Amino acid sequence: MLIPVQNDEEGTVPEWALIELQGTFESLTGSDIITDIGILSKSAIDKDIIHLVIGYHQLEGRRQTLKKPLLILDKQKIDAALLANMAEQSLHSLPHGLTRVKYSAVGIVRSKILFKTRPTALISKPSAGHAALK
């Protein structure tokens, strides 16, 4: 089965990275949605070593290349006007009765950051609004 994927006008897709952690997060604000996890920074000595500060804890991870890249897609329904325009241009000849959707590439993941060691405790207080690592 072929799935048509649309790219942006420039033809480039931003590169994303996965973050792999062990444990659970709890929001200090009591909200179910955590938008700001912590501060992510690269090591000055080794560019593959990444530091993540979450609350009172610092984690050290390493960047790893994925064996196969992952494409992040955004699924959208095609409106009737656009569908009629596509039919006129005969870009897609889909059987009747199928849901017409389009997929847009929004990102590609080629690497992940793996944090597999226990966090080290920091002495300074965390900045407000960050999540807590449990």
Tally: H helices and E strands in the chain: 1, 9
Q: At residue 107, what are phi and psi to the nearest 5 degrees?
A: -170, 160
What pTM value is reported for the model? 0.65
23: left (phi over 0), alpha (psi -120 to 50) or beta: left
Residue 3 to residue 67: CA distance in whole angstroms:
23
For residue range 38-97, list pLDDT tens digits in order. 899 998 888 889 999 988 889 999 999 999 999 999 888 876 665 566 555 555 555 554
| Domain range summary for the chain, segments of one domain joined by + | 15-119
8 A C-beta contact, residue 104 and residue 5: yes
Report how far apart, in Å, the C-alpha atoms of 40 and of each of 30, 53, 97 are.
Answer: 23, 7, 47
Bridge partners for 61 per DSSP: 50
Q: What is the CA radius of gyration of the chain?
A: 21
Closest CA to 110 of 66, 71, 72: 66
For residue range 5-47, list pLDDT tens digits in order. 666 666 688 899 999 988 877 777 777 666 778 899 998 888 8
Residue 91 to residue 1: CA distance in whole angstroms:
16
